[in-house]
Amino acid sequence: ETGVTQSPTHLIKTRGQQVTLRCSSQSGHNTVSWYQQALGQGPQFIFQYYREEENGRGNFPPRFSGLQFPNYSSELNVNALELDDSALYLCASSLGASGGVYEQFFGPGTRLTVL
Amino acid sequence: DQQVKQNSPSLSVQEGRISILNCDYTNSMFDYFLWYKKYPAEGPTFLISISSIKDKNEDGRFTVFLNKSAKHLSLHIVPSQPGDSAVYFCAASQIQGAQKLVFGQGTRLTINP
C-alpha cells in the first residue's frame, strides 16, 4: 500500500510568482486536506476536497486554490506569492468526509521558500 | 485566535520515566481530540485519539486524558524511550462536518538516555 506522496520536496520562488504543489493520496482514500505549517507553529488548515469538490476552507485568501482529480490526487495553487507564504505545505488523505472521524494520513510535505 | 494551545515548546525526560505533554483548547464545539508525532523531514503520524464522551483512552505505552470542564488534555508516555524523541502536536476537530484539524504549536520531546 502506497502512502501519501507530495512533490516537489523543496521549492524556491520569488514574490509575485505562482506555484503548484501536488499530492497523491493513499490508495482508497477519497478525501484530501491541505495544511500550511509555518516555522515553529502547528499545521493550519487551508482547505479540504472530497470527491473533487471543496468541502471546507480555513482562513486563507482566495489566492490559495485547489483541485482534486478523479483519481483523488490533488493540487494546491498559490498565486501572487508573498514572503509569509514560506512554509511547509502538508497534504493529508483520509477516507470519508463528514459525519464521522477518519484518520488523516500525512505526506512528508513540500518546503516552499519565497524570496 | 489560538484555539488549541501547547504552552510548553520543549520537554526533556529521562529514558524509562513518564513523559506528560499538555494541551488546552478554547472552543467548546470540539468533540474529538488527537495526538500526532512528527519526526524531521516526515509528515505527522497519528498516535492516539479520544472523543469527548470519554475521559481516558489507552494504547500501549500511550494514554490520553481529557478534562472537558477544564478544556484540557494530556498525553502520557510510559515508559519513555529514545525513539519517542520527536515533536508532538495536539489537534482538535468536530465529528460533524469537514474533518478540519486545528493543531497546537507542538512540543518538542527529548528523551535522554
Mean pLDDT by runs of 10 across the 115 residues of chain A is 89 98 92 94 94 91 96 95 98 75 88 98
Nearest-Cα distance to chain A for B109, in Å, is 14
Answer yes or no: are the C-beta atoms of B109 and B85 closer than 8 Å: yes
* pLDDT greater than 90 at residue B27: yes
- Assign A83 to helix, strand or coil: helix
When pLDDT is cut at 50, 70 and 90, the band that residue B99 belongs to is confident
- Assign B79 to helix, strand or coil: coil
Let me know the angle formed at the C-alpha of B46 by B60 and B59, rounded to the nearest 5 degrees: 15
CB-based contact (8 Å) between B40 and chain A? no
What integer pLDDT is reported at residue A2 of this predicted model? Answer: 73
CA separation for the pair B17, B20 (Å, rounded): 10
B6, B99, B106 ranked by CB distance to A97: nearest: B99
Lowest mean pLDDT among A46-50, A74-78, B57-61, B91-95: B91-95
Q: A47: nearest CA in chain B?
A: B100
Total beta-carbon pairs less than 8 A apart between chain A and chain B: 72
Report the pLDDT averaged over residues B34-48. 93
* pLDDT greater than 80 at residue B48: yes
Across chain B, mean pLDDT equals: 94
Answer yes or no: are the C-beta atoms of A76 and A64 closer than 8 Å: yes
Which of A9, A95, A98, A102 to mutate: most B Cβ within 10 Å?
A: A98
Which of A32, A93, A104 to mutate: most B Cβ within 10 Å?
A: A104
Cβ distance of B100 and A31 shorter than 8 Å: no
Of chain B, the end-to-end C-alpha distance in Å amounts to 38
Tell me which amino acid residue A86 is: S
Answer yes or no: are the C-beta atoms of B79 and B36 closer than 8 Å: no
Distance of CA B73 to the CA centre of its chain: 7
Q: Which residues of A touch B32 (CB under 8 A)?
A: 101
Lowest mean pLDDT among A101-115, B63-77, B92-106: B92-106
Cβ distance of A48 and B98 shorter than 8 Å: yes
* pLDDT greater than 60 at residue B102: yes
Lowest mean pLDDT among B8-12, B22-26, B63-67, B94-98: B94-98
Of B1, B18, B7, the closest CA to residue B90 belongs to B7
Cβ distance of A106 and B91 shorter than 8 Å: no
CA separation for the pair A26, B97 (Å, rounded): 22
Answer yes or no: are the C-beta atoms of A30 and A72 closer than 8 Å: yes
Q: A105: nearest CA in chain B?
A: B45
* pLDDT greater than 90 at residue B109: yes
Instruction: For chain B, give the percent of residues with pLDDT over 70.
Output: 97
What integer pLDDT is reported at residue A1 of this predicted model? Answer: 59
Which of B5, B32, B99 to mutate: most A Cβ within 10 Å?
A: B99
Q: For chain A, state the CA radius of gyration.
A: 13
CB-based contact (8 Å) between B62 and chain A? no
Q: B5: nearest CA in chain A?
A: A42
What integer pLDDT is reported at residue A101 of this predicted model? Answer: 67
Residues 6+ apart with CB under 8 A from A71: none
Count, residues in chain B:
113
CA separation for the pair A78, A63 (Å, rounded): 6
3-state class percentages of chain A: helix first, strand second, coil last, to nearest 5: 5, 50, 50
Cell numbers found for residue B30: 470540539
Cβ distance of B96 and A98 shorter than 8 Å: yes
